[in-house]
Amino acid sequence: MQFKNQDLPIFHKGQFEPVNRDFLKETVVSIKPLLEIQKKYNKLDNDTFFNEFKDSLIAIHLGYELINTQKHGFDGKKSADENVFLEVKQVSFTSSSWGATFNDTNEEKAEAFMDKKMWLAVGVWHGISELQFIVYGQNPLIGEYLLKRIRERKEGSRSTQNISVKDLVQKYHFKIKAILPENEIKTLFKLHYMDKTEWWQDAFE
């Protein structure tokens, strides 16, 4: 088979600009100390490194003492003596939609969210290290929703479900834990949602 020479729409997508060498140079210099930490704690996989950092920070804020350092299972556990588990989701402050994304969820995991031992947290971040606030709580209806979506998906398709922060607060009665001053977080909600009902006001703990 020979290569084609096509004018596909995908070739016209994106905005290509010259490589910003100043950005590259400054980033390389800034990242070097992180590499030393990765080596020190033998956490050289970048995704694992940053996920554990973010999950651990959220776990501490919510009073969880243990963090899962393996790929499978939930992210946090209350303590060695308490079988209370935490699933952590991360979202960027700059994202157009704040919410929890569940990738490759199976029926067992959906069933777990119907269990009283299971809690969910969504951390909203500004940049790589600034945690703004956490939306957290538990509700068996989340497990029911996940299970329904899993069973309804087309055969062969990936199991991905999304629950917005708005639904977590309004439908599932989650709380909002401000890491920055509460008035600043309320302003962020106003700017993000532009909703005159201000449904988030009573959700702050």
Instruction: Give the predicted TM-score (pTM) of the model.
Output: 0.90
| pLDDT at position 156 | 67
Name the band, by pLDDT with cuts 50, 70 and 90, for residue 98: very high
Taking the C-alpha atoms of residue 42 and residue 76, their distance in angstroms, rounded to an integer, is: 20
CA distance readout (Å), 12 to 6, 131, 175, 181, 192: 12, 36, 44, 44, 30
pLDDT for 170 equals 97
Is the Cβ–Cβ distance between 199 and 169 less than 8 Å? yes
Running DSSP on this structure, what letter comes out for residue 3? P
Instruction: Give 53's pLDDT tier (boundaries 50, 70, 90).
Output: very high
3-state DSSP call for residue 175? strand
What is each CA distance from 22 to 18, 110, 176, in whole angstroms? 11, 46, 38
| Mean pLDDT across 112-127 | 97
Task: List C-alpha distances in Å: 187 to 170, 184, 198.
Answer: 18, 5, 10
